Amino acid sequence: MNGAADLGGMMGFGPVIGEPEDEYFHADWERRALAITLAVSAVGAWSIDAGRHARESLPPAEYLSSTYYEIWIKALERLLLDTGLVEADELAQRRSLRPGVPVNRTLSATAVPAVLAAGTRYDRPVDVPARFAVGDRVRTRNMHPTGHTRLPRYARGKVGVIERVHGAHVLPDTNAHGAGEHPQWLYAVLFDARELWGDAAEAGLTITIDAWESYLEPRPAG
């Protein structure tokens, strides 16, 4: 979707201010925000793509005026309500008003390091060959879905070259909305910065974007 989270190439938002690599939190409540989000997500009531979509689809004024972990908590509240794990009156009063909904699994604090280190695999087998190969010229589709997508707005309708074939992976566009994994081939596509940003872009700069097969169309040489 073309929401406030898709800021690439937009102007007027000020410079990106870097922070030390080992500075993860600015306040104790941010640690709790991360912990709560991890713990509740482990229940399995929604996918990682649904979580991303919940954050990215916050109203623009709310998204842009919220800090990083405020966005996480606001999205978590929406997900809890949408899945019925929490009712609106409980959220308003910040306490349980009825027995909790049974869940299939939980994440203990002691298990967190191993779970995070293991990660989650999203590659899947498919029975169709890859449409593109390394070196192929492709054009990204000029698409503007109202739902979730991982194709950034600034890279739509642009010509690039397949740099790597990652294999087939879960398609976020459907998985975010509970419509199935529908795995597709995933490619790393290399773009010249001037193809994306025009002549004002730095000469020689390139950008690589991971793009699912349905995002791409063949582009003949020339």
* Cα-trace Rg, the chain: 20
CATH number for the domain that contains residue 169: 2.30.30.50
Is 197 inside a domain boundary?
yes
pLDDT of residue 16: 84
Structural domain including 185 reads 137-218
Assigned domain for 20 exists: no
User: Is 114 in the same domain as 142?
Assistant: no
pLDDT score at 14 = 86
Measured distance CA(111)–CA(20) in Å, rounded = 27
pLDDT tens for the chain, 222 residues long, are: 899 999 888 889 888 888 899 999 999 999 999 999 999 999 999 999 999 999 999 999 999 999 999 999 999 999 999 999 999 999 999 999 999 899 989 999 999 999 999 999 999 999 999 999 999 999 999 999 999 999 999 999 999 999 999 999 999 999 999 999 999 999 999 999 999 999 989 999 999 999 999 999 998 766
- The structural domain count of the chain equals 2
What's 59's domain CATH number? 1.10.472.20
pTM strictly above 0.95? no
96, 34: one domain: yes
My answer on whether 109 and 145 are in the same domain is: no
The values of phi and psi at residue 161, to 5°, are -125, 135
Is 140 within 8 Å of 191 (Cβ atoms)?
Answer: no
pLDDT at 128: 97
- What is the predicted pLDDT for the residue at 9? 83
Minimal CA–CA distance to 186: which of 116, 142, 121, 119? 121
Say if residues 204 and 216 touch (Cβ distance below 8 Å): no
- Residue 156 covered by a domain: yes
Look-up of token digits 């990660």:
119
Residues 102 and 142 in one domain: no
CA pseudo-torsion sign 54, 56, 62, 63: positive
pLDDT at 222: 62
